[in-house]
Structure 1
Amino acid sequence: MEAAESTYFDLRNVRENLQEAKLDNDDVDLQSYLKCFNELNKFFTLIGNIFGFVSSELEGKIQILKDFLNKPDEAHNFLTVKKMIDFEKEHNLLQKDNYISGSRTLLRIHRALEFIQAFLKAINGLKEDEGTSGPCIDAYNCTLGNHHPFFIRTGAKLAMYTLPIKHELMLRVCGSEDEIQKAEEILPETLDICSEIYDRIQRIYSERNLLSLP
């Protein structure tokens, strides 16, 4: 019998799925990548309504890509990031009306990864009693904020001002002091893997001139 999934954030799941997402040909396994984001999305959900704008968007986009992977006749075209993008380009699907593009959807998730990576890196450098709102706003301004309209940016940053100090935030998402310690021990390694996956996907899109997909 499988153990019940924890309601708290488990950075070990993020690390393991990111490791499994790395393929030998500089590609990224899509299913493992999405499993990683299921856990990362839990992080934002546990923080509260502050990150509702990130969490709700991620859930919808993750489900779109899962639906592609669950279609028996199409799944083989969406197993990896390269396969998906090349398939949609070859069949002129990126600009097709009434078609929800997996490549476009993944690009939005990819941008969220940049923000998550920057925020977790900032948290890693804080003392236990230091506030997290300033570093979070800085991370947002340099990443996701560049892709959001003014009214979303304004609302998001106002909400971020309510973020607690580091220890309180970590307790909220990890659930116990013991789990906080475990997360902090593997956070640097996880950030390195996260950066590698982000760079891979960035290169894949850049080589195909798709970083500015509308």
Structure 2
Amino acid sequence: MGALAWGGPRLCRLLLPLGVFFLLLYFSSLRLHLPHSACLWGGRPCPWSGEAPPGQEAEKVSPGPLSTQAPDAGPTAKPPGSPFQEHRFQIQRLMRAFKASLTPSGQILLWEYLSGWKELIKFMDSLGAAFGLVSRETQSKIGIMEQHQSGEHGHHYRTVQSMVAFELARGLVGFQSLPEDQPPSGCRTLLRLHRALKWLELFLHKLSTSRKDGAPSQMCAEAYREALAPYHRWWVRQAVALAFLALPSRQELYRLLCPEGEHQGQALLLGALGSISQVYNITQEVFASHQMLDLP
């Protein structure tokens, strides 16, 4: 009787994580034939997903090269439609993008910031199909930011600081909630990217300082629990925990990061992490100063 009484609950506890895992693999195997700027929110097409958010007409803006120009140099938002996979992941390009996003005066240039994120997406894509869902969710948020940048008020989305000031003045942040028929604010969207950036920063830092027998799956899980897990529902936490088990070995990760070898890879990784950390810390201060770290 005891075995029968406990058989059902035990079987459920066994099958539920497996079901979540296979569900994740299913969604990861899907190929959404959308441009990377196509708007997705919560895994679904945005209600306003036209050429531009409601009340805004698309404004074509010519992109410029990565630079550290002053914010008043005008918007340099990259137009929607540029492919994410134009090149393979290169850690040097990642480092240049985040370094260029920080001006001498401490402004964070959004176009350069998003360019750095596109390199991180290439890195995540190289980790296998289990990270496909995470990658697409990140792409959707970048698409939302680029729609803001190319819209009627695009010049206000040149830097993190100018975006925050504009959306606060217009009451666009949505401290409590946001109607489903309105585009997510730039502040709320950037906050999601900001949290995910901390996760990847912690993971890559653990990798750069790890022993040769270190397990990337454990490093990634620890970074996730610290940076992102508090903001995710139970089923998401279970799914990503299982996805981490599919991570490549430490040696394979270093080959992805730097084909020239682990020693050079560690130096490049630490350099990139220095730039990412600076950008993260300044963005954190901006959000904290306006009580926006817990936006819904």
- In structure 2, relative to structure 1, the CA distance for the partners of 1:99 and 1:50 (3 Å cut) is closer
**2:127 touches 2:248 (CA, 8 Å); kept in 1?**
no
Aligned to 1:192: 274
Count of residues in Structure 1 that have an aligned counterpart in Structure 2: 207
Aligned to 2:46: none
Aligned to 2:172: 93
Tell me whether 1:43 sits opposite 2:43 in the alignment. no
Aligned to 2:222: 138
Amino acid of the structure 2 residue aligned with 1:200: I
- In structure 2, relative to structure 1, the CA distance for the partners of 1:16 and 1:147 (3 Å cut) is same
Map 1:31-180 onto structure 2 (within 5 A). 31-71=111-151, 73-95=152-174, 97=179, 98-171=182-255, 173-174=256-257, 177-178=259-260
Amino acid of the structure 2 residue aligned with 1:213: L
In the alignment, which of 10, 18, 26 is matched to residue 106 of structure 2? 26
Which is worse superposed, 118-127 or 161-170? 161-170
Distance 1:100 1:164 in 2: 35
- Percent identity (aligned): 29
In the alignment, which of 205, 208, 214 is matched to residue 290 of structure 2? 208
RMSD between superposed Cα atoms in Å: 1.8
**2:199 touches 2:227 (CA, 8 Å); kept in 1?**
yes
- In structure 2, relative to structure 1, the CA distance for the partners of 1:179 and 1:11 (3 Å cut) is farther
Which is worse superposed, 108-117 or 18-27? 18-27
- Spell out, residue by residue over 1:36-78, the C-alpha distance to the aligned partner (whole angstroms, 9 max, x if none): 000001110110122223211110001111112222x311110
- Structure scoring higher RCO (CA < 8 A, sep ≥ 6) equals 1
- Spell out, residue by residue over 1:68-124, the C-alpha distance to the aligned partner (whole angstroms, 9 max, x if none): 2222x3111100001111101101112253232011000000001000100000111
Distance 2:162 2:98 in 1: 18
**Greater fraction helix:** 1
What displacement does 1:148 show?
A: 0.7
Tell me whether 1:6 sits opposite 2:87 in the alignment. yes
- Spell out, residue by residue over 1:148-206, the C-alpha distance to the aligned partner (whole angstroms, 9 max, x if none): 100000111012122232012233x34x7327654332111211111111000000000
Which is worse superposed, 123-132 or 98-107? 123-132
**1:12 touches 1:183 (CA, 8 Å); kept in 2?**
no
Distance 2:93 2:114 in 1: 12
With normalisation by structure 2, the TM-score equals 0.66
Which 5+ residue runs of structure 1 have no aligned equivalent? Answer: none
Amino acid of the structure 2 residue aligned with 1:203: E
Distance 1:183 1:103 in 2: 34
**1:65 touches 1:102 (CA, 8 Å); kept in 2?**
yes
**1:29 touches 1:79 (CA, 8 Å); kept in 2?**
yes
**1:133 touches 1:162 (CA, 8 Å); kept in 2?**
yes
**2:199 touches 2:223 (CA, 8 Å); kept in 1?**
yes
With normalisation by structure 1, the TM-score equals 0.90
Amino acid of the structure 1 residue aligned with 2:105: N
